Amino acid sequence: MNRNEEYMQMLGQLDTLKAPENTVKRSVRRYKINKYLVRPLAGIAVVFAAFTVLVNVSMKVAFAASRVPVLRDLASAVTFSRSLKDAVSNGYAQLVDIKQSDENVSVSVEYLIVDQKTVTVFYRAKSDKYEELLVSPLFSTTDGKAFSSTVTGSSNAVSGDGRQLYFASLELLGEGDMPSTVLMKLSFYAPEADITQMPKSVSDLEFELSFDPEFTSRGKHIELGQSVRLGDQTVIIKSVDIYPSYMTVATESTPENSAWLRSLDLYVLSDKGERFDVPEGVSVRSYSSNTGYEISNYRLDSPYFYNAKDLKLFISSAGWLEKGKEHIEVDLAGRSANGLPEGVTLADVSRTDVNGKDAWLVTLRVPEARKSDYSGGVAEPCEGGYYTVFWQMWRSDHNGKEAPAGYCYIDCLIEDCPYDTVKLPVNISYTWQAETQLEITIDLRSAD
């Protein structure tokens, strides 16, 4: 049986991955790792949110996808993405066989899923010297120029028998279509016992990936240019792009708006009734154009393989951040806060200890529906340097007291800060809710 026959046989062996439990300690460790390994992007005027993290999918998905049993292979490796799962089920994958190794790591690149804008590479990694390795992917052109785009992937590679299937993905943002060949470098790191220390680099392996033009030509573009009113603000639904890997809805917010558009609650229905949603853990890509328009690209599951003739886009709510109110100002010494978003209250401010170092813990009570707005870690500038802000996992009680119905608590860990007053980043000030869902028709027969 050859590899193509093997691959088709495994399509029916889909399985659901179980995500491991994540502790706050592991979350802090992951943030520290990302802090040292993340690479800054270039080529976009102003970035309003931190998209270039090593894992732009949810943490539980990254951990689960890195432990796929070999017999389930690619079919199970893509369960974190409905679109990629549909692609595999339709035989849409390119088989490759490229191996690289050094004295520390052996890597075998085996599959990839590529279209006009995205490539997701699946590989196995093994080390006989290290019990745990971290991996940071980097994609570049054949002349060595790094793409100023979003790179995601499995961020931790646990050593073993080499069966684990990991992934690295490149999504092009405003850089044209996918070239016929790209270079992928995988940098492996050994984590230090002290999580505050930069992991030690142990290996750099580079792979030249050539794509079948049958795959890189796939994609549909539909111009819409439809203006909609969301409360007191105006949004233009600019266009829709449909690829095998995902679908994007591009929006523009006019400079006259008094708030930044931070989120849209939207989904798409096909003419056959299939529903396509924003995948869990996927962020909106937002940036400012030179004309002053704020551009946001919302990613949804792709209807590419469903043979729909038209689609309907539904919008039920929008999250807005008032201009000039992009931060919560917290007086740590006075235990008070100004600029809190709608429905958010300050529950507590306390001193804590992180690996023997003093830190602050700010606890907010937030609406349950908005808990996902507080996540990840950022660095805020201060005189003489930066202090780090890390939103920890939400919980239902604080100091033994249950949150009121519809609310939860979230802690914000603040490190390396010598000041009594800090600014915490705010994502959403208030939410607009539609009385009836807005509906927009997308005629796929007009696709480019």
Phi first, then psi: give them for residue 28, nearest 5 degrees: -60, -40
Q: Quick one: pLDDT at residue 121?
A: 94
Instruction: Return the pLDDT at 301.
Output: 95
In this predicted structure, what is the pLDDT of residue 129?
87
Give the model confidence (pLDDT) of 165-188 as tens digits.
888 999 887 668 899 999 999 999
Task: Report the run of H or E that residue 76 belongs to, with start and end.
Answer: helix 73-77
- Of residues 438, 217, 437, 439, the one with CA closest to residue 311: 439
Domain ranges of the chain: 3-216, 220-323+431-446, 327-425
| Nearest by Cα to 119 from 11, 21, 211 | 211
Burial per residue of 339-357, b for 16 or more beta-carbon CB atoms within 10 angstroms, e otherwise: bbbebbebbebeeeebeee
Residue 42: CB atoms within 10 A of its CB come to: 9
The vertex-352 CA angle with 350 and 358, nearest 5°, equals: 115
Low-confidence ranges of the chain (pLDDT < 50): 1-71
Amino acid 191: pLDDT: 80
Domain 220-323+431-446, what architecture?
Sandwich (2.60)
The number of angstroms, rounded, from the C-alpha of 133 to the middle of its chain's C-alpha atoms is 21
Q: What is the CA radius of gyration of the chain?
A: 23
**Residue-level pLDDT at 58:** 32
Which pTM value belongs to this model?
0.70
